[in-house]
C-alpha cells in the first residue's frame, strides 16, 4: 500500500459551532484500501505501487518495487493469465489497465539496461536446498537470498526454468528472455546446479549441511488413458512433445494431428503442431467450451490460427488412422455422459493432453510426508510438509497450476522458511478492505484510451515459433500506467484541497499526502465526495 503520514487526532470542543455547519458529528479521515488488482495477484505484487512509479517515468524504481515480489517480470508479462486485469475496476469504464504489458515493459527495460538486484540483507549463515528450478523453486531461491540465506537449487534437467523452458512454447515466451532473467537471479547469488537429480532428500540435506529444504519439482508426468488400439497411429503425450520441441526437436507428426484434451496445454500443443507443419490440427474434448479448463483467450487464439475444436467428443478406439469418437452430452451438473452415437475421424498422429502428475515417489522415503491420491504433497498453511524443515510448493502441492501461483508459493515458502530458521512464525499483515468500482467517485469522462499490444497476422504466425505479441514502447507503457485509477489510495490529485469550503485540508508536501485541520473542518463531507479513488471516508466523531 502507498502509505501517508498520519498525525494524532486533536481534541476539539464539540459545543462550538464552526464554519458553515452545525456541531460536527462526523469527520473525514484518509484511508488506505486494497486495490482489487493487488488482491487478485497470486504473486502478491503491489501492482498499484509500481504502476504509480511507472506513470511518473521512474522506471527503475518501478522495477525494483515489482521485483520485491516477483523476480521474473519479463516472463510474467508474457505468460501470466493476469487475474489482476480481470478484477481491475477500470474495466467498468473503457477496459482494464493492461497491467501485464506494463510489467513486460519494465522487465524488458531491466534486461536492456542490465539492471541487477541489489543485495541488502546481511548473511544469515543458514543454507537452504531447493529441489527443482522451475518458477516456484526460482522464486523461493530468490526470496531466500534477499532474506540473507545461502541457497542452492538442484535441477534434474540441463536447463533451469522447468515448464517455463520445456512446456511453454517459444511463440509465447522467447527463450532468450527466460534465460536472461534466470541469469540475473544467478548473478544475485543463487546457485543453480544443473543435471542434478535428487533421489534422496534427507541424504542430500545432510551431505550439503542444509538447514531447510524446499521441494518444487513441478508436475511433469503426463496422464494417460487406456484407449483400445490396433495398428495405431503414433501416439504422443503433450508434455514430452512440448519438451522435445522446446529443446529444438521437430518431430514428424504427419499432416493430420488430433490433440485429445481441453486445457491450456492442449491449446499450446495444437498451436505447436501447426507450426511443425500439420495442415490440420484438431482438438477433441469431452465437454463443451463453457466447461473447458483452458482460458477462453487460449481457445480464441488457437481458433484464430486455424486450429479446429470438436466439443463433446471422446476417443473410444484407434484403428490405424481411424479414430472412433463417441458423442457426449452434458447432464444437469455439467458432467459429460455417453450417448451411444459414434463418429470416425482420420489422423496421422494423436497427442494426449490430459494433464500432468507430480513424480513424487522419491519422497515416500520420508514417512512424515503425506500425499493426495494424485501424488501431490500435503502441506500446512506455512507450506511445510509433515517433516519439520522440509517445505513444498508449486505444482507439487494441491492448488491451481499456473506460473504465477507457483511464483507466489515460492515467495510464501521463503518467508515461512526464513521464520522457521529464526525459530519464529511468519505472520502476514492483515489485508485492508477491497475497494470496488461503486465506491469510487470518478469523473464522467476518461482522457487516456487503452493501448493494445501489436500482434503478428494470423496467417504469418504458424510459419515459425517467433513471438506473436509485441510489447509497448516507453510512451505507450507510461500512458497505459496512467490509466490506473489508484483505487483506494491517495495519489495527491488535490481534489480535496480544492473542494474544502473551510480551507481545512493541509497539503504536507509532495509524496506526503494531506492532513485535516479539525479546528476548521465542519464535517460537511465535500472532500470525501470529491475524492475520485475513495482514499477518504467519513467516520463518527468521538468526544475525548
pLDDT value of residue 248: 87
pLDDT category at 15 given cuts 50, 70, 90 is: very low
The model's pTM is 0.91
The pLDDT > 70 percentage for the chain reads 95
* CA atoms of 233 and 241, how far apart (whole Å): 15
- Report the pLDDT averaged over residues 396-411: 95
pLDDT category at 7 given cuts 50, 70, 90 is: very low
Least confident interval from 247-251, 430-434, 446-450, 479-483:
446-450
Cell reading at 87: 478484477
Q: Is the pLDDT of residue 287 over 50?
A: yes
Q: Which residues contact residue 85 at a Cβ distance below 8 angstroms, ignoring those fewer than 6 apart? A: 37, 91, 96, 97, 98, 99, 100
C-alpha torsion 28→29→32→37, nearest 10: 0
User: What tens digit of pLDDT does each residue of 336-365 get?
Assistant: 999 999 999 999 999 999 988 888 999 999
Q: In terms of Cα–Cα distance, which of 124, 181, 186, 126 is closest to 155?
A: 186
Q: Are the CB atoms for 323 and 346 separated by under 8 Å? A: yes
Q: In terms of Cα–Cα distance, which of 432, 444, 293, 424 is closest to 354?
A: 293
Sign of CA dihedral 368, 373, 376, 380: negative
pLDDT category at 21 given cuts 50, 70, 90 is: low
* CA atoms of 392 and 453, how far apart (whole Å): 37
Task: Compute the mean pLDDT over every residue in the chain, rounded to the nearest whole number.
Answer: 91
pLDDT category at 222 given cuts 50, 70, 90 is: confident
Q: For residue 458, give the H/E element and its range.
A: helix 458-461
Cell reading at 206: 545432510
* CA atoms of 280 and 274, how far apart (whole Å): 7
* CA atoms of 142 and 184, how far apart (whole Å): 10
pLDDT value of residue 444: 59
User: What tens digit of pLDDT does each residue of 140-188 get?
Assistant: 999 999 999 999 999 999 999 999 999 999 999 999 999 999 999 999 9
Dihedral pair phi/psi, residue 17, rounded to 5°? -85, 150
pLDDT category at 386 given cuts 50, 70, 90 is: very high
User: What tens digit of pLDDT does each residue of 432-442 get?
Assistant: 999 999 999 98
- Report the pLDDT averaged over residues 99-116: 97
User: What tens digit of pLDDT does each residue of 476-488 get?
Assistant: 999 999 999 999 9
Q: Is the pLDDT of residue 12 over 80?
A: no
Q: Is the pLDDT of residue 449 over 80?
A: no
Q: Is the pLDDT of residue 4 over 70?
A: no
Q: For residue 213, give the H/E element and its range.
A: strand 212-215
Q: Is the pLDDT of residue 8 over 70?
A: no
Helix extents (H) in 94-247: 99-113, 135-146, 163-166, 175-187, 201-207, 238-246
Q: Are the CB atoms for 270 and 298 separated by under 8 Å? A: no
Q: Is the pLDDT of residue 396 over 60?
A: yes
pLDDT category at 460 given cuts 50, 70, 90 is: confident
- Report the pLDDT averaged over residues 322-343: 93
Domains and CATH numbers, the chain: 1-32+489-544 (3.30.70.20), 37-117+456-481 (1.10.1060.10), 127-221+357-421 (3.50.50.60), 222-354 (3.50.50.60)
- Report the pLDDT averaged over residues 408-423: 98
pLDDT value of residue 445: 57
- Report the pLDDT averaged over residues 511-531: 92
pLDDT value of residue 17: 41
Q: Is the pLDDT of residue 516 over 50?
A: yes
Amino acid at each position: 500500500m502507498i502509505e501517508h503520514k498520519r498525525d494524532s487526532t486533536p481534541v476539539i470542543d464539540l459545543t462550538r459551532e464552526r464554519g458553515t455547519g452545525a456541531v460536527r458529528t462526523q469527520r473525514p479521515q484518509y484511508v488506505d484500501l486494497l486495490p482489487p488488482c493487488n488482491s487478485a495477484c497470486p504473486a502478491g505484487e503491489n501492482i498499484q505501487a509500481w504502476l504509480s512509479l511507472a506513470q511518473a517515468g521512474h522506471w527503475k524504481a518501478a522495477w525494483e518495487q515489482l521485483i520485491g515480489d516477483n523476480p521474473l517480470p519479463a516472463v510474467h508479462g508474457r505468460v501470466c493469465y493476469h487475474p489482476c486485469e480481470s478484477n481491475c475496476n477500470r474495466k467498468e469504464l473503457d477496459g482494464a489497465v493492461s497491467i501485464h504489458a506494463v510489467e513486460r515493459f519494465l522487465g524488458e527495460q531491466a534486461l536492456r539496461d542490465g539492471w541487477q538486484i541489489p543485495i541488502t540483507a546481511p548473511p544469515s549463515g543458514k543454507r537452504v536446498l531447493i529441489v527443482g528450478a522451475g518458477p516456484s523453486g526460482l522464486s523461493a531461491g530468490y526470496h531466500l537470498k534477499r532474506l540473507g540465506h545461502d541457497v542452492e537449487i538442484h535441477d534434474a534437467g540441463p536447463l533451469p526454468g522447468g515448464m517455463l523452458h520445456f512446456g511453454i512454447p517459444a511463440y509465447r515466451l522467447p527463450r532468450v528472455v527466460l534465460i536472461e532473467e534466470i541469469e540475473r537471479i544467478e548473478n544475485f547469488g543463487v546457485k543453480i546446479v544443473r543435471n542434478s537429480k535428487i533421489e534422496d532428500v534427507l541424504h542430500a540435506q545432510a551431505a550439503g549441511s542444509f538447514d531447510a529444504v524446499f521441494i518444487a519439482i513441478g508436475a511433469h508426468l503426463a496422464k494417460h488413458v487406456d484407449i483400445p488400439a490396433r495398428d495405431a497411429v503414433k501416439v504422443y503425450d503433450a508434455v514430452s512433445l512440448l519438451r522435445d520441441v522446446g529443446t529444438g526437436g521437430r518431430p514428424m507428426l504427419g499432416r493430420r494431428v488430433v490433440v485429445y484434451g481441453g486445457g491450456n496445454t492442449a491449446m499450446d500443443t495444437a498451436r505447436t503442431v501447426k507450426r511443425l507443419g500439420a495442415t490440420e490440427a484438431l482438438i477433441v474434448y469431452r465437454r463443451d467450451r463453457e466447461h473447458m479448463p483452458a482460458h477462453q483467450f487460449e481457445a480464441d487464439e488457437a481458433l484464430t490460427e486455424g486450429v479446429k475444436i470438436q466439443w463433446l467428443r471422446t476417443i473410444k478406439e484407434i484403428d490405424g488412422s481411424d479414430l472412433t469418437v463417441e458423442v457426449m452430452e452434458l447432464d444437469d451438473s455439467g458432467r459429460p455422459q455417453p450417448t451411444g452415437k459414434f463418429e470416425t475421424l482420420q489422423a496421422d498422429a494423436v497427442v494426449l493432453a490430459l494433464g500432468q502428475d507430480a513424480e513424487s515417489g522419491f519422497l515416500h522415503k520420508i514417512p512424515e510426508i503425506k500425499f493426495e491420491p494424485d501424488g501431490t504433497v500435503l502441506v500446512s498453511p506455512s507450506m511445510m510438509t509433515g517433516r519439520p524443515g522440509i517445505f513444498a510448493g508449486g505444482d507439487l502441492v494441491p492448488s491451481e497450476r499456473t506460473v504465477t501461483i507457483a511464483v507466489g508459493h515460492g515467495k510464501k515458502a521463503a518467508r515461512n522458511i526464513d521464520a522457521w530458521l529464526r525459530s519464529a512464525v511468519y505472520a502476514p499483515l492483515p489485508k485492508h478492505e477491497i475497494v470496488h468500482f461503486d465506491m469510487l467517485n470518478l469523473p464522467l469522462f476518461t482522457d487516456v484510451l487503452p493501448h493494445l499490444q501489436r500482434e503478428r497476422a494470423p496467417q504469418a504466425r504458424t510459419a515459425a515459433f517467433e513471438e506473436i505479441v509485441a510489447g509497448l514502447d516507453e510512451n505507450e507503457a507510461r500512458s497505459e500506467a496512467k490509466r490506473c485509477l489508484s483505487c483506494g489510495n491517495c495519489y495527491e490529485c488535490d481534489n480535496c484541497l480544492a473542494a474544502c469550503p473551510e480551507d481545512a485540508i493541509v497539503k504536507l508536501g509532495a509524496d506526503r499526502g494531506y492532513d485535516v485541520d479539525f479546528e476548521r473542518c465542519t464535517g460537511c463531507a465535500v472532500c470525501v465526495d470529491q475524492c475520485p479513488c475513495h482514499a477518504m471516508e467519513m467516520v463518527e466523531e468521538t468526544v475525548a
